[in-house]
């Protein structure tokens, strides 16, 4: 057996608070300072509503996702409703949240849940992860935030907060097994309390213990934190992907054109969004292959009818 190097990378550099102490510090803060205006936190939100909110929040700020979620859930309250919608409508309602493949996968999710699960969103993370666009984080979020299961919910916020609690300034770029283990070790035994700790950890990372700055003076767990009082290292925490001039930018321009078009558009109008024909051809071919755009009988371009 190879040595478990990954477990070492995310291992705390210092002592971690006990789950009981963490909950004792964190939960009162969350009750007092947590955001109570997120629409999916309202009582009565369905499992499907939670799943939709989590997919929308993948790499999109929750403040931007919230209004889209409201309109979306009013229009398509159940998986069956979304499954039956024209894909063009789905992509337009998704609007400018970015990564429109998420919208496509969400509709596939709706079809699978409606047809293969009797319209009931699974509660088991393993089962949830089988759905398109649902990874480890989103599966855990639905299982915990709606169904009350006891699982670690590890997003970028939790990774960062847990790393800093352990005295590490670098949380790494992606969630590893070691991150999950470290987060699980902080969960109290009671599932309902564990669920609140997970939301509170995420909220702490989103509001106080952010990527750019750690507001240790206002932090409820600063006394138990290995990072307390330190400055966040300057500069990007990881290598960033360029955007200007990339395929993604071209795809974005094509999608924006078709989203805003009332009718199918001629190729000439597609050509107008990008000067380099090579890149444009590539992007258009990709978008068609992925099912994000389509052509009609006369060869004009449009969002997928179905």
- Which residue in 8, 20, 24, 54 is the catalytic one? 54
Q: Token pair for residue 161?
A: 């907060």
289 binds DNA (CB under 7 A): no
List of residues 6+ apart from 42 with CB closer than 8 A? none
173 binds DNA (CB under 7 A): yes
Q: Which helix (H) or strand (E) holds 145?
A: helix 136-145
Stretch that binds DNA, among 79-87, 136-144, 220-228, 293-301 (CB under 7 A): 136-144
Among 92, 248, 269, 300, binds DNA (CB under 7 A): 248
* Per-residue interface string for the shown chain with DNA, residues 64-83, x marking contact by CB under 7 A: x-------------------
Side-chain half-sphere of 205: how many Cα atoms within 13 Å?
22
43 binds DNA (CB under 7 A): no
- Is 129 known to be catalytic? no
Q: Token pair for residue 165?
A: 């609690």
Q: Which of 48, 224, 250, 51 is nearest to 137 (CA)?
A: 51
278 binds DNA (CB under 7 A): no
Residue 38 Cβ, how far from DNA at the closest point, in Å? Answer: 5
Coil/strand/helix, residue 213: coil
In the chain the beta strands, taken as DSSP E runs, fall at: 294-295, 301-302
Q: How many Å apart are CA 302 and CA 305, to the nearest integer? A: 8
Residue 105 Cβ, how far from DNA at the closest point, in Å? Answer: 7
Name the residues annotated as catalytic. 54
List residues binding DNA (CB under 7 A).
Answer: 6, 38, 40-41, 53-54, 57-64, 96-101, 105, 129, 132-139, 141, 155-157, 172-174, 176, 199, 202-203, 206, 210-212, 235-241, 243, 246-249, 251-253, 255-256, 286
């Amino acid at each position: 057996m190879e040595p478990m190097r990954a477990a070492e990378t995310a291992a705390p550099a210092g002592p971690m608070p006990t789950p009981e102490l963490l909950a004792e510090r964190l939960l009162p803060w969350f009750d007092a300072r947590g955001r109570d205006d997120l629409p999916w936190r309202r009582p009565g939100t369905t499992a499907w509503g939670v799943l939709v909110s989590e997919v929308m929040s993948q790499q999109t700020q929750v403040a931007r996702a919230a209004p889209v979620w409201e309109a979306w859930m009013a229009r398509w309250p159940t998986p069956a409703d979304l499954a039956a919608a024209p894909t063009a409508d789905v992509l337009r309602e998704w609007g400018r949240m970015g990564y429109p493949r998420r919208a496509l996968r969400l509709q596939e999710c709706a079809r699978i849940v409606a047809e293969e699960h009797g319209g009931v969103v699974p509660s088991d993370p393993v089962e949830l992860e089988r759905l398109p666009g649902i990874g480890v984080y989103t599966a855990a979020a639905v299982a915990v935030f709606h169904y009350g299961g006891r699982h670690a919910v590890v997003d970028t916020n939790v990774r960062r907060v847990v790393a800093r609690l352990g005295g590490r300034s670098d949380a790494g770029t992606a969630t590893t097994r070691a991150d999950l283990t470290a987060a699980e070790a902080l969960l109290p035994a009671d599932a309902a309390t564990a669920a609140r700790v997970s939301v509170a950890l995420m909220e702490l990372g989103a509001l106080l213990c952010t990527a750019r700055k750690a507001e240790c003076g206002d932090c409820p767990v600063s006394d138990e934190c290995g990072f307390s009082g330190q400055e966040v290292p300057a500069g990007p925490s990881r290598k960033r992907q360029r955007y200007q001039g990339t395929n993604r930018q071209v795809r974005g321009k094509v999608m924006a054109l078709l989203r805003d078009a009332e009718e199918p558009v001629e190729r000439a109008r597609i050509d107008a969004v990008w000067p380099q024909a090579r890149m444009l051809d590539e992007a258009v071919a990709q978008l068609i292959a992925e099912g994000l755009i389509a052509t009609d009988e006369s060869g004009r371009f449009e969002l997928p009818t179905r």
